[in-house]
Amino acid sequence: MLLNPAVSGFHPDPSVVRVGDDYYLACSSFEYFPGVPLFHSTDAEHWTPIGHVVTRPGQLAIEDVPTGGGAWAPTIRFHDGQFWLTVADAMGRGGLIFTATDPAGEWSDGVVMVGADGIDHDITWDADGTCYVTYSGLLLTGPEFGTHLGIQQVRMDPTTGQALEAPRSLWSGTGLKFPEAPHLYEIDGTWYLMIAEGGTERGHGVSIARGPSPEGPFEGAPVNPVYSHRSTSHPVQNAGHGDLVHTDDGWRMVLLGTRPGGMSQMFAPLGRETFTTRVAWVDGWPVVERFTLTPDLPPVETTTSFAEPLGLEWLSIRDAERGWLARSDGRLVITAPDDAPPVAMDAHRPHFLGRRQLHLGSRCAVRVDASSGTGGLSVRYDERHHYDVEVSGGRLVARVRLDQLEQTWEAAVPDGPVELWISTTPVVPGPGLDMPDLATCDLVRLGYGSGADAVELAVVDGRYLTSDVTSSFTGRVTGMYAASGTVAFEGFEYAGHDA
């Protein structure tokens, strides 16, 4: 049984490549910075973060992308001695090609693709060295915004990003909505075109076709989709957007999925995660093994002191500069923007630093010194959906922000540093719960203080911070922010478990 989830928390749209005895995996990051997280493995099962593709300003135009924009669906490949990664900077720079000699090192500035308008770009080469870019023809600019042209392909000069021909239409699945995530492979002399279709929601699935060349013509598999969890009670839903890799013990597929909670599996707090399964080949077609979740994974507890440089897990929102961030005496210091809105986390680009929620049960806590400003701890899905615990001098506010709706709870606290915390507890269906209780995925608790002095200010339904309610492509990110003045943070604790 393979380890699942392979990469937990908001890590969607996985793509994988093997180079020698090493495997590398890339995921989407949307409006967050650093962008396009990268992982390394020696067994295509246990993944260790090694860096990001986007590590400096200008590589993505994330500063002004709308919610849901930014880095979509990378494809990572190795050719001619270097790594290549395509990604759509949706509603930003457009389709991009990045290169690196070491995936853990510095990546290029990114070449904009011209003549391949769409998303989910795949890149491959035939035996003659001809480069093909295959992509989903969803138009995100111009008067035809939102038009979907199906799966498209061009021959391309990858060094300049210039398409060498007009796009051609390829096999686009069985007729289900949103044919996307194409990946093209040459296996034993036959070319396979694997796509996702059915939308990235409950109908998501993986379909495949084969043909004699990268340009087709392609015939669909006798049974498509070759993988899906639609209309099942599998604990992982939305399964799709797969990529294939050959390992020493056979073929594997990495794919995305969600772990929705509630009696009807309606709400997924962590967003889309990465999973792995095995693939066999029968009569020239892939047969994908239905994976299972790994039971009894150990709990995780970490503490960040901020005395050392920030780790790879820390994210800002649409901000690659982070000029408002400093470290002093083992504390993280955040300076608020001059133009912060009345609710700081409503901002398009708040001064916020957070990390993904990786487990269904979790607790984040941090000690906050707001003697020179106002700030706190927030769990965020987007600028319209977030829960905050905020302190200013001797006043503490817990806040729920749901689009245009807001509710607050207040308490008086002593002057000086105070510990703020946010926890999540999965709801397990059972006797004694009424229907609204059974429907939700988890409860989010907002409070302050530690040990016997801990005070719970509010208990909030977690369904409102899920991809199913917010219509976002991301997941929960919890972290620290400043609303006014300068706020210092010390000892950020994260504890997570899935039991």
Q: Catalytic one among 13, 243, 369, 442?
A: 13
- Tell me the Ramachandran region of residue 249: left when phi exceeds 0, alpha when psi lies from -120 to 50, beta otherwise: alpha
Q: Say how far apart CA 154 and CA 173 lie, in whole Å.
A: 18
Residue 469: enclosing H or E segment and its boundaries?
A: helix 467-470
Q: Is 64 helix (H, G, I), strand (E, B) or coil?
A: helix
Cα–Cα nearest to 391, from 416, 374, 414, 410:
374
| 13 labelled catalytic | yes
Please report, as a single letter, which amino acid is at residue 370: A
Q: Say how far apart CA 196 and CA 77 lie, in whole Å.
A: 19
Buried b (16+ CB within 10 A) or exposed e, 196-215: bbbebbbbbbbbbbbbeebb
Buried b (16+ CB within 10 A) or exposed e, 219-240: ebbeebbbbbbbeeebebbbbb
Peptide bond before residue 295 is cis, with ω within 30 degrees of 0: no
What is the C-alpha end-to-end distance of the chain, expressed in Å? Answer: 18
Q: Say how far apart CA 478 and CA 324 lie, in whole Å.
A: 18
| 180 labelled catalytic | yes
Residue 217: enclosing H or E segment and its boundaries?
A: none
Q: Catalytic one among 31, 180, 273, 490?
A: 180
Active site residues: 13, 180
